[in-house]
Amino acid sequence: MEVDRFLTEITAAPGLSGYEQPVAKMIGATLVKYANEVRQDHLGNVVVLKKGKGELRPRVLLAAHMDEIGLMVTKIEKGGFLRFTSVGGIDPRTIVGQEVVLFGKKELCGVIGAKPPHLTDAKERSQAFTMEEMFIDLALPEAKVRELVSVGDVAMIKRKAIKLNGTSMAGKAMDDRAGVAVMLACLQELQRLHHLADVYAVATVQEEVGVRGATTISYGIVPDIGIAIDVTHGAMPGVPEYDTCKLGKGPGITVGPNIHPKVASELIRIAKEYNIPYQLETATGPTGTDARAIQVTRGGIPTGLVSIPLRYMHTSVELLDLEDIKQTGRLLAYFIASVNSEYVEELACF
Amino acid sequence: MKDLLKKLSETYGPSGREEKIRKVIAGEIKDFVDEVFTDPLGNLYAVKKGKSTKIMVAAHMDEIGIIVTYIDKDGFLRFSNVGGVSPQILLGQRVTFGNGVVGSIGVEKLDDIKKLTLDKLYIDIGAKNKEEAEKLVKIGDIATYDREAAVMGTRVIGKAMDNRAGCAVVIEALRRLRETENEIYAVFTTQEEVGLRGSRTSSYRINPDLGLAVDVTLVGDTPEPPALNVALGKGAAIKVKDASVICHPKIKAMLSELAAKHKIPVQMEVLTAGGTDAGAIHLTREGVPSGVISIPCRYVHTPVEMVDLDDMENSVKLLTAFLSTSVKMQEAFPCALV
Amino acid sequence: MLLIKKLTEAYGVSGDESGVRNLLREELTPYAEKIETDSLGNLYIKKGIGKKPRVMVAAHMDEIGLMVVGIESNGLLQVKTVGGVDERVLVSKPVVVGENHVPGVIGAKAIHLQKPHERKKPLEVEQLYIDIGVKNKEEAEKMVKIGDYAAFLATTHEIGDNCLIGKAMDNRVGCAILAELVKEDYDLELTAVFTVQEEIGLRGASVAAYNVHPDFALVLEGTTASDVAGVEDTGYVTKLGGGPAISIMDSSFIAPQKVINFLVETAKKLNLPFQLRRLTTAGTDAGAISQAHGGIPSAVISVPCRYLHSPTSIISLDDYENTLRLAKGVLMAIAEGGLSLEGFAEKIK
C-alpha cells in the first residue's frame, strides 16, 4: 500500500489511548504484508516481526505509537449534555466548535458546545474556554442519551486528513500515526535490502498518557536496539529555532542522555552515506516519547529517536510533509541493514 | 464488616511503617487462605491456590501521615508530610505515633490563613523540653490522625478509610470465596500513597495474568461538588480511567457484565487526577490487563473520610464474583490480531 | 584527598559521564575481579564473586550541567540545562564545552545595559549563552557542535577548617568513598556501581539494580547542608561537620526502620558522629533500586554538602572520612551477619 493512502486511512480511524483496537487492526493487517508475523500483546501493542537472514540475529525494535489524544465522558448532565475530560494533553481552546464522533452503544455524531458569545459579557469573552465549561451535544433527548451513552465512553474529533499544497498533509492523529507510516515505508524499503537483524515494528499504545505501551513491549521483546519514531515541533514564528525542525528537511535525529551516542552517530552516518536529509535535535533529559521507556527497560537498551517535523501538535490539523516520512523510512531501513552483532556488542562498551 | 472496618481504620499504618496494620490483616486472613508471606517492601501476600488464571488483587494498607524532622529545645516537633496531607486539614487535629504517643497540632501566629503551610505547624506531645520529647519520639517517627471510627447507619466516618475500606472488602471476599479454578494472590500493598511502590514490586514478584485493585474514589454528590459521576451509596464503582491507568476495556466489561448478572448496583468512574495500584500493576513486566473496583468515599485524605457499608457489600459481591469466574486467558485476551 | 580532587575536577554531565568513568576504571582496575559497563554507561566493579550475600553499593557519577542546543550567527552558544540547575547560579561562571573541553564563560547582558527592573529578576537560561571567544558561527562550529555537553570549570582545593571546595561534590564525594571501599576486601559479593543519569531521573540506577539484583543496596550520596545564614535551625537538612547523614525518607524512598536502626547502631559501635537527614524531598538512586525486581532492601548515607549543584560546593573532610568509615563498617557488619536479610521477607503461613 502507498504510504500516503495508508496515512490517510489510519489517521481517520479511531484509536484513543487505551482504546486503540480499531486502528490497531488496520495497522496490523497492512504492515504484516511486508513482514512474517503479527501479534498483539495484553496492553494492545501491535507487534509485527520481519525476520532477518543471519545466524546471529540482533533484535531491532521500532516503536511508533498509534494512540491519539481524545475525550472521555465524565458525567451526563440534565438535558443530555455530556461533560468530559481529556485523554492525553488537549488544548481546550482548539476543540470548541469541533464535530466529534462519540463511541457509545453505537457511533454517535456530536459537537462541542459552550455558552454562546451573545450570552457572555466582554470580560468573559476575553477568557479562553476551559474544559469544564464545554460539553458534547449529541442533539438527542436526554433519555436517548442515557440509553446510548455511559460515563467512560470516549469521543474523538471528526477529521479526515487533507492534502495541502505540494507534499504536505494535515489532519488529526498525525502524532503519531506518521510514525506508523514511517514503519510501513521502512518495511517496504527492507523488502529489497539484505538485513541480518530481526525487525520488530511495534505500533505502541498509550504513549500519550505516559509511554505505557512501550514500557511493557520493550520488556517483552528485550531488543538489542530500540528506536522510537515520533513527531517533533515544526519550525514556526515565535518559537526559537533550536526548539524546532523544519518541515521537508528530513527527520530530526535526537542526541542527549536518553539516546545512545553510538545509535545517534550511526543514524547520522547512514543519513550521510545515503544522501538522506536530517536535522539534529537536542533533548537534555528523558524525552517525551517511547524512547524514555525503552532505554531503561530491564538492564538497559541502547535507544535512538527519529522524529517527523510537524506543526500544530495535538490539534486536529497537525501538518507535516509526506516526504519526511518517506526519507525517515529509508533512513531506518538502511540503518537496520547495517546492524550486525559486532555493532550491538559495542553498544555496551563505554 | 462494620466491626472489621472500624478495627482496620483505627489501626496505625502510615506509608513505610505498615507493621501494625499488616499484623492485624494477617490475623484476619490467615485461616482463609493457603499461604501468607511478606516481602522487603512490607507487602502482605495471601494466596489461595488454584490451577488456572493467576489473579492479583491489590488493596493498599498504608495511610497518609506526618514525619518528625526536628525536635526543638522546648520539645515541639516539626514535621513534613508522608503522602498527600494538607496543612488546612491538619489544623486542630490530634495525631498519634505508632508507640501510643499522642500530640496536638499547633500553629505559629499567622496574620493570613492563606499563608498556612506545613512548616508553620508543629506537633505538641506535651513534653516540657527536648530531653523529655526525645524519650517519647525520635526524628523520623511518623504520626497519623488519631480518630475513632463512628458508625452512622450504613455510613462509617473515620480516618484511613482510604484504603482500609478496600482492605476490608478484600478480606471479606477472601472469607467468602469458595474453591475456584483461579489462583488468587491478594496483596495488601505498602507505600501506595507515596507512589504505588508496594504494588510495583509485588506485581513483579507475582507476575499475574490479571490485576485488580480495590481502592476508594472521590465522589461528586456533596454540595457544590466537582463534576464527578460517582455518588455515595449508589454501589461499587467500576473505574474507567484515572491519571495512573486506563483500565483494560475487557476487564471493565467483565465487571459490568458480572454486576448485571448478579444484580449488583454499580456506577462508572472516570477520575481526572489521582492514581491507584492498578497504575503500577498493569505496567509490570510484559503488561497485565488490569481493572479497579472503587469504593465511593467522601472527604478523602481527611480524618473524617466517609464510606457506605452497602457500597462495600456490593464491592465484596462484585469482587467475589470476579474472582470466582474462570477466565481462559487465550480466549479472553487473544494475541492473534488478524 | 587526591582522588576526590581528581574526581570533582573531571567532567561528567548526565548522559556523558565518560570523564569520570575512565578515571574510576583506571583507579580501580587493580582491585576488581570483574569490570563491566552497560548500554547506559553504568560502571560495575565486582569483588568476591559467588559469595553471599550480594551487596550493591551505588554512587552516581553524573553532575548537572548544560547542553549546547544552538549556535547564533555571532558564534555565541545557546544552551539548556541538564538536570536540576538553579538558573540563578549560572551567570558569570567558567565552563568547558564538548569532548575537547573548549573553555568558555557564561555571559549575559552587563548590568550597565540592564534597566533597573531587569536587575532584580533572576537571569533565565534563555537569556544566557556560552561565549567561547569566537567571531562567528563558522568558527564556533569548528570547535563545538550541537548536543555537546558543558560543565562548570572549577579547581578543587582546601578551604577553612578542613573543608574542601569545588564543583560536582554531588556526587563525586560518593564516588570517592565507593572507590575507597572497593580497595578493601569483605566476606560478601560486592558490586560497586558508579551510576549514570541520576540527576535526570535515577535512570542509570534502575537498570543497574535490574542487572545486579542484590540482596541489599547501599547508596552513597552528597546531600544538602543547609546550616547557613538565613535558614532557621528547624529547617536544617544536615549540618556540615555533623557526620554522615542517614536517610529516613526522600521523595523516592522510605528507609525500612530496621535498616535505619542498623545504620545507627553501626555508627554508635564505631563511635562515629552521625545525623539523620531531615529533608523528606529530593530523590536518590535508592528510589529506583529499592523498587527493582520484587523489591530490594536499601539504605542511603550522604555526605553533607553546602551549595549543592553549584561550582562552589563545600564539604567537610571530617564528614568524608566518617562517611567512609561508616560505609566500611556497614559492609563489615553485613559480612558478619549483622543485618538479617532473610527477615525482610517473612513467611507467616
Which member of A243, A285, A298 has the closest CB to residue C201? A285
> Domain spans of chain C?
2-63+167-344, 65-152
Contact (CB<8Å) B140/C294? no
Of the pLDDT bands very low, low, confident and very high (cuts 50, 70, 90), residue C112 is confident
Contact (CB<8Å) C197/A256? no
Q: Pairing relation of β-strands B76-82 and B65-71?
A: antiparallel
State mean pLDDT over C287-312.
95
C-chain residues near B30 (CB < 8 A) = 348-349
Read off the DSSP letter of residue A164.
-
Does residue C110 have a pLDDT over 80?
no
**Do residues A137 and A110 make contact, with C-beta atoms less than 8 angstroms apart?**
yes
Topology of the domain comprising C2-63+167-344: Aminopeptidase (3.40.630)
Ranking A119-123, B160-164, B325-329, C86-90 by mean pLDDT, the lowest is: A119-123
State mean pLDDT over C13-17.
97
A3-68+172-346 and A70-157 share one fold? no
pLDDT digits (tens, 9 = 90+) for A30-58: 999 999 999 999 999 999 999 999 888 99
Interatomic CA distance for residues A98 and B63, integer angstroms: 43
Does residue C296 have a pLDDT over 90?
yes
| Average pLDDT for chain B | 96
Read off the DSSP letter of residue B259.
H
Burial B156-168 (b: 16+ CB within 10 A, else e): bbbbbbbbbbbbb
pLDDT digits (tens, 9 = 90+) for C190-219: 999 999 999 999 999 999 999 999 999 999
The domains located in chain B, with CATH, are: 2-63+159-332 (3.40.630.10), 65-145 (2.40.30.40)
Which three-class secondary structure state does DSSP give residue A338?
helix
Does residue C235 have a pLDDT over 80?
no
Omega before C53 within 30 of 0, i.e. cis: yes
If phi > 0 it is left, if psi is from -120 to 50 it is alpha, else beta; for residue C74 that is alpha
Of the pLDDT bands very low, low, confident and very high (cuts 50, 70, 90), residue C121 is confident
Contact (CB<8Å) B81/C280? yes
Interatomic CA distance for residues C300 and C298, integer angstroms: 7
C161 burial (CB, 10 Å; 0-12 / 13-18 / 19+) is exposed
Host H or E run for residue B16: none
Taking Cα atoms as reference points, which of A230, A87, A234 lies closest to residue A157?
A87
pLDDT given at position B145: 98
Please give the class, per CATH, of domain A3-68+172-346. alpha beta
Amino acid at A19: Y
B133 in contact with chain C, both atoms CB, cutoff 8 A: no
pLDDT digits (tens, 9 = 90+) for A77-133: 999 999 999 999 999 999 999 999 999 999 999 999 988 877 878 887 888 889 989
pLDDT given at position C57: 98
Chains interfacing with B (3 or more CB pairs < 8 Å)? A, C
The three state secondary structure string of C179-193 is HHHHCCCCCCEEEEE
Interatomic CA distance for residues C306 and A187, integer angstroms: 55
Interatomic CA distance for residues A310 and A230, integer angstroms: 10
Q: What is the secondary structure of B83-144 as a DSSP string?
A: SS--HHHHTT-EEEETTS-EEEEEE---S-GGG--GGGEEEE-S-SSHHHHHHH--TT-EEE
Contacts of C85 (CB under 8 A, 6+ apart): C64, C65, C66, C125, C309
B74 in contact with chain C, both atoms CB, cutoff 8 A: no
Of the pLDDT bands very low, low, confident and very high (cuts 50, 70, 90), residue B336 is confident
Query: How close C52 gets to chain B, by Cα (Å)?
Result: 17
Q: Pairing relation of β-strands A59-65 and A198-204?
A: parallel
Contacts of A340 (CB under 8 A, 6+ apart): A54, A56, A58, A196, A197
- Percent of the residues in chain B that have a pLDDT greater than 70, as a whole number: 100
pLDDT digits (tens, 9 = 90+) for C49-58: 999 999 999 9
State mean pLDDT over A209-235.
97
pLDDT given at position C229: 84
Residue of C nearest to A292 (CA): C203
C147 in contact with chain A, both atoms CB, cutoff 8 A: yes
| Average pLDDT for chain A | 96
Of the pLDDT bands very low, low, confident and very high (cuts 50, 70, 90), residue C1 is low
pLDDT digits (tens, 9 = 90+) for A242-261: 999 999 999 999 999 999 99
Taking Cα atoms as reference points, which of A214, A186, A270, A267 lies closest to residue A64?
A214
Please give the class, per CATH, of domain A70-157. mainly beta
Taking Cα atoms as reference points, which of A18, A104, A20, A294 lies closest to residue B244?
A18
Contact (CB<8Å) A260/C39? yes
Contact (CB<8Å) A300/C146? no
pLDDT given at position A331: 98
**Beta-carbon neighbour count of residue B268 at 10 Å?**
20
pLDDT given at position A204: 98
- Cell 516526504, located at residue: A323
Topology of the domain comprising C65-152: Elongation Factor Tu (Ef-tu); domain 3 (2.40.30)
Interatomic CA distance for residues A250 and A240, integer angstroms: 19
pLDDT digits (tens, 9 = 90+) for B11-52: 999 999 999 999 999 999 999 999 999 999 999 999 999 999
Contacts with B, A 77-96, CB within 8 Å? 83, 85, 87
Residue B192 falls in the annotated catalytic set: yes
Which member of B220, B241, B282 has the closest CB to residue A72? B241
pLDDT given at position B338: 62
**Beta-carbon neighbour count of residue A96 at 10 Å?**
14
- Cell 559469595, located at residue: C51
Instruction: Give the residue ranges of DSSP H helices in chain A.
Output: 3-12, 21-31, 122-125, 142-148, 174-190, 212-221, 261-273, 290-295, 322-338, 341-346
The residue length of chain A stands at 350
From the candidates A207, A208, A266, A281, give the one annotated as an active-site residue.
A207
Contacts of A115 (CB under 8 A, 6+ apart): A133
Specify which residues B151 forms β-bridges with.
Answer: B156
Contact (CB<8Å) C234/B15? no
Q: ipTM higher than 0.90?
A: yes
Query: How close C228 gets to chain A, by Cα (Å)?
Result: 31
Contact (CB<8Å) C295/B191? no
The number of C-alpha atoms within 13 Å of A184 and in the hemisphere containing its C-beta is 23
Interatomic CA distance for residues C246 and C248, integer angstroms: 7
- Cell 490487563, located at residue: B289
